[in-house]
């Protein structure tokens, strides 16, 4: 493992916030293609009523556009969709990013095919150490970003208090973690903002930090209830089968009866919470202080 | 192929080894840890740990005397940077009393142990969600000797990793615990049951929405509701058939004994029995069950015969027939399709 010196990014509080939008369903590219340029309202409109749970600086305008899923090997975009998204980003003057999940071995060839379509300087959000190695070794012109599956922290929205949330602190400032990311050529972290998170919770991290908003993920599995909809018993609820991407058509929303916890949903194999307005304010404060340099808007 | 079994008290060492386990894993919360860090989070489980270092020494001594190895679980998904030195000291102390390996998920701790306790083996916990060859190479480069694969992999995926990386020991789940989400990407705690328990069996009341809002069409809704019923049934199996055992004492719940012939053929080093928090009797019966299957494999019995024997062990083949009790359901499916030699299972 190469142990490179890492140069901390200067306080980004004086620079405009980077603003990205992350799209999972490649079919929705068609709607974006109608825009000659993208504005923050175009991004916020994609969130529906959840846009009320986001607070952005006045000067925040789109800088990045992402396609792909962090959570499912079945949702890797086709090379045609990657080509279309790259072309749109060139037209809009935005940086493109391909988002990739934890991978099984069968995903590596499709991944290579997708990565080959990316122009130099494109970002790749990696959520699997093996994928990070692949990008470093075979695609050195791309810029890997550590996705939120690699930045581990407690995010259980059911916890009754901040005291519970402190039980398992994150290790984002640990020296070995920084060295390993350096060794893989990873220069940026993308994270969730957890329940009970404080504005300064990402202060002092040696990497520029992006936060996904207004949804954080709680847990993801490889077993997918919704992805088993078209399967017969006993193939249901098992790994390694084909998927008809039912999660792109349906979402489950709800709560635990008798609680006033964060709105929760399940999309395919993943559970999410939605930020409360207080959390949005904390993220905005983190942006103002330069502790968070990018917000990536994404749905659940 | 070895059997790896959980222990939570020194008294379990001898019966588990006698039953067939050659590898034992355990956790410990050192007495000063809670005082120092105000948490009992030394590993992934709050309960099921040894009482302290004295018990840990007894476990290692007893196991060594019975020619078994002991692994220490330090497998929280993540630790704060303030924990690393203390955890590394625990690893060094464990090694000094004869412990063989630490089971670790956090990459910073893996790197710290590799650098500071080089003669302590490192087993990458299933919590690290390592399930491809490149990822296994990454952990090997950090200093890992063994990869414990997460629960939801296929036998073909296991075989691909064992084939590509013969220098690494590969361990795969064979019995008991049944998380729904991948442990390494589940950022929750198991709450006390009166507060909800594990999130995957908590009392969430979800309703389906179509993308873009609104209810799904009636026909789709009926299919979704039927799928939900199937899922509840699967959950019941996933959580140990309602946390019960068969009349002969063998445990119900997620099981991969039918896949053991294929795993053995693929070169899997160890099969893991989960459940440190379980009762001693359940652990012993679990090892007995797996050992009886392993004996036949090692005696050279054909895979098809071994599978039939395995299905009959708990005398309730209908549970096996459901397909919902399997870690590796493809073994059952393909077996029924006539792939009695298991060729498909080891295809890379």
B208–A251 CB contact, under 8 Å? yes
Confidence of residue B233 (pLDDT cuts 50, 70, 90): very high
Residues of chain A with Cβ-Cβ distance to B81 below 8 Å are 171, 173-175
Closest partner residue to A176 among B111, B131, B213, by Cβ?
Answer: B111
Percentage above 90 pLDDT, chain A: 89
CA B56 to chain centre: 21
A220–B181 CB contact, under 8 Å? yes
Closest alpha carbon to A167 in A188, A138, A195: A195
Confidence of residue B47 (pLDDT cuts 50, 70, 90): confident
Quote the minimal CA–CA distance from B196 to chain A in Å: 8
User: What local confidence, expressed as pLDDT, does residue B341 receive?
Assistant: 39
- Report, as an integer, the average pLDDT of A16-34: 96
- Report, as an integer, the average pLDDT of B267-295: 96
DSSP B290-316: HHHHHHHHHTT--HHHHHHHHHHTTS-
CA distance A101 to A3: 26
User: What local confidence, expressed as pLDDT, does residue A170 receive?
Assistant: 94
- Report, as an integer, the average pLDDT of A244-260: 95
Q: A183, A204, A221: which to substitute to probe chain B, counting the most B Cβ within 10 Å?
A: A221
> Does the pLDDT value for residue B347 go beyond 60?
no
Confidence of residue A240 (pLDDT cuts 50, 70, 90): confident
B152–A222 CB contact, under 8 Å? yes
CB–CB of B270/B23 below 8 Å? yes
- A65-74 residue pLDDT tens: 999 999 999 9
* DSSP β-ladder status, A143-146 and A250-255: unpaired
- The lowest-confidence range among B31-35, B221-225, B303-307 is B31-35
Residues of chain B with Cβ-Cβ distance to A132 below 8 Å are 138
| Phi and psi, residue A215, nearest 5° | -115, 140
Quote the minimal CA–CA distance from A282 to chain B in Å: 21
User: What local confidence, expressed as pLDDT, does residue A14 receive?
Assistant: 54
> Does the pLDDT value for residue A7 go beyond 50?
no
Count Cβ–Cβ pairs < 8 Å, chain A vs chain B: 243
C-alpha distances in angstroms, A98 versus A22, A185, A246, B166, B171? Answer: 9, 16, 21, 33, 32
Residues of chain B with Cβ-Cβ distance to A171 below 8 Å are 78-81, 83-84, 106, 108
User: What local confidence, expressed as pLDDT, does residue A10 receive?
Assistant: 41
* A-chain residue closest to B151, CA distance: A222
- Report, as an integer, the average pLDDT of B256-267: 97
Confidence of residue B334 (pLDDT cuts 50, 70, 90): low
- B90-117 residue pLDDT tens: 999 999 999 999 999 999 999 999 999 9
Phi-psi region of B285 (alpha: psi -120 to 50; beta: other; left: phi over 0): alpha
pLDDT: is B178 or B127 the higher one?
B127
CB–CB of B110/B90 below 8 Å? no
> Does the pLDDT value for residue A2 go beyond 80?
no
- B60-87 residue pLDDT tens: 999 999 999 999 999 999 999 999 999 9
The β-bridge partners of B72 are B26, B102
* DSSP β-ladder status, A18-23 and A62-68: parallel
- The lowest-confidence range among A123-137, B44-58, B94-108 is B44-58
- B156-190 residue pLDDT tens: 999 999 999 999 999 999 999 789 999 999 999 99
C-alpha distances in angstroms, B140 versus A152, A257, B118, B130, B249? Answer: 21, 46, 13, 11, 39
User: What local confidence, expressed as pLDDT, does residue B82 receive?
Assistant: 93
Quote the minimal CA–CA distance from A45 to chain B in Å: 12
* A-chain residue closest to B114, CA distance: A176
Residues of chain B with Cβ-Cβ distance to A128 below 8 Å are 129, 132, 135
- Report, as an integer, the average pLDDT of B48-54: 92
> Does the pLDDT value for residue B346 go beyond 50?
no
User: What local confidence, expressed as pLDDT, does residue B34 receive?
Assistant: 85
pTM of the predicted protein model = 0.94
Residues belonging to chain A = 300
Residues of chain B with Cβ-Cβ distance to A177 below 8 Å are 107-108
- The lowest-confidence range among A119-133, B246-260, B323-337 is B323-337
User: What local confidence, expressed as pLDDT, does residue B39 receive?
Assistant: 79
A236–B107 CB contact, under 8 Å? no
Confidence of residue B213 (pLDDT cuts 50, 70, 90): confident
Mean pLDDT of chain A: 93
- A144-156 residue pLDDT tens: 999 999 999 999 9
C-alpha distances in angstroms, A244 versus A228, A267, A268, B178? Answer: 9, 14, 11, 25
User: What local confidence, expressed as pLDDT, does residue A158 receive?
Assistant: 96
B195–A153 CB contact, under 8 Å? no
B135–A130 CB contact, under 8 Å? yes
User: What local confidence, expressed as pLDDT, does residue A243 receive?
Assistant: 94
For residue A211, give the H/E element and its range.
strand A209-213
Quote the minimal CA–CA distance from B306 to chain A in Å: 21
B129–A48 CB contact, under 8 Å? no
Residues of chain A with Cβ-Cβ distance to B85 below 8 Å are none
Closest alpha carbon to B250 in B304, B175, B324, B200: B175
pLDDT: is A109 or B212 the higher one?
A109
- A256-277 residue pLDDT tens: 999 999 999 999 999 999 999 9
> Does the pLDDT value for residue A11 go beyond 70?
no
Non-local (6+) Cβ contacts of A282 within 8 A are A193, A197, A198, A199
Quote the minimal CA–CA distance from B275 to chain A in Å: 20
User: What local confidence, expressed as pLDDT, does residue A227 receive?
Assistant: 96
User: What local confidence, expressed as pLDDT, does residue B343 receive?
Assistant: 40
ipTM for the predicted complex comes to 0.94
Closest partner residue to B204 among A149, A159, A264, by Cβ?
Answer: A264
């Amino acid at each position: 493992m190469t142990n490179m010196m890492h140069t901390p990014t200067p306080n980004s509080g004086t620079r405009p916030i980077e603003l990205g939008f992350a799209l999972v369903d490649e079919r929705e590219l068609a709607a974006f293609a109608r825009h000659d340029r993208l504005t923050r309202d175009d991004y916020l409109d994609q969130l529906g009523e959840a846009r009320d749970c986001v607070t952005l600086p006045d000067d925040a305008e789109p800088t990045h556009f992402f396609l792909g899923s962090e959570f499912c090997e079945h949702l890797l975009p086709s090379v045609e969709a990657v080509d279309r998204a790259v072309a749109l980003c060139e037209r809009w003057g935005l940086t493109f990013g391909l988002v990739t999940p934890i991978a099984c071995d069968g995903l590596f060839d499709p991944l290579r095919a997708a990565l080959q379509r990316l122009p130099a300087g494109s970002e790749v959000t990696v959520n699997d150490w093996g994928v990070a190695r692949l990008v470093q070794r075979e695609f050195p012109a791309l810029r890997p970003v550590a996705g939120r599956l690699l930045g581990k922290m407690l995010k259980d929205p059911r916890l009754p208090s901040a005291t519970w949330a402190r039980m398992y602190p994150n290790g984002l400032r640990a020296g070995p973690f920084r060295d390993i990311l350096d060794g893989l050529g990873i220069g940026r972290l993308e994270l969730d903002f957890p329940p009970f998170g404080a504005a300064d919770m990402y202060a002092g991290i040696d990497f520029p930090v992006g936060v996904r908003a207004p949804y954080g993920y709680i847990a993801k599995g490889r077993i997918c209830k919704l992805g088993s909809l078209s399967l017969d018993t006993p193939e249901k609820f098992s790994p390694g089968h084909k998927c008809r991407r039912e999660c792109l058509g349906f979402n489950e929303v709800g709560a635990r009866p008798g609680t006033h916890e964060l709105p929760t949903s399940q999309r395919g194999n993943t559970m999410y919470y939605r930020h409360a307005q207080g959390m949005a304010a904390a993220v905005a404060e983190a942006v103002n202080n330069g502790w968070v340099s990018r917000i990536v808007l994404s749905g659940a | 192929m070895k059997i790896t079994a959980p222990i939570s008290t020194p008294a379990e060492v001898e019966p588990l080894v006698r039953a067939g386990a050659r590898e034992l894993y355990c956790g410990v919360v050192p007495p000063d840890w809670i005082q120092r860090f105000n948490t009992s989070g030394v590993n992934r489980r709050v309960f099921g740990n040894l009482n302290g270092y004295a018990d840990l020494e007894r476990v290692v001594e007893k196991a060594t005397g019975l020619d078994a190895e002991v692994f220490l679980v330090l497998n929280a998904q993540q630790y704060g940077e303030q924990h690393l030195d203390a955890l590394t000291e625990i690893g060094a102390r464990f090694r000094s009393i004869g412990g063989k390996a630490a089971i670790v998920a956090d990459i910073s701790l893996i790197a710290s142990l590799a650098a500071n306790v080089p003669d302590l083996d490192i087993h990458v916990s299933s919590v690290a969600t390592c399930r491809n060859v490149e990822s296994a190479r990454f952990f090997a480069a950090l200093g890992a000797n063994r990869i414990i694969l997460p629960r939801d992999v296929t036998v073909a995926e296991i075989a691909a990793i064992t084939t590509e990386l013969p220098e690494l020991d590969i361990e795969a789940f064979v019995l008991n615990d049944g998380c729904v989400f991948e442990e390494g990407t589940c950022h929750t705690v198991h709450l006390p049951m009166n507060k909800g328990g594990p999130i995957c069996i908590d009392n969430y009341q979800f309703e389906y929405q179509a993308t873009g809002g609104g209810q799904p069409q009636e026909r789709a809704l009926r299919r979704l509701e039927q799928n939900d019923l199937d899922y509840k049934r699967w959950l019941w199996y996933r959580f140990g058939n309602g946390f019960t055992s068969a009349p002969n004492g063998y445990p119900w719940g997620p099981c991969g004994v039918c896949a053991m012939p294929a795993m053995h053929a693929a070169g899997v080093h160890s099969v893991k029995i989960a459940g440190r928090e379980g009762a001693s009797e359940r652990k012993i019966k679990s090892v007995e069950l797996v050992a009886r299957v392993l004996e036949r494999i090692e005696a050279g019995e054909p895979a098809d015969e071994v599978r039939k024997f395995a299905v009959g062990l708990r005398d309730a083949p209908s549970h096996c027939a459901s397909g919902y009790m399997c870690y590796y359901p493809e073994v059952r499916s393909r077996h029924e399709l006539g792939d009695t030699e298991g060729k498909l299972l080891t295809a890379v």
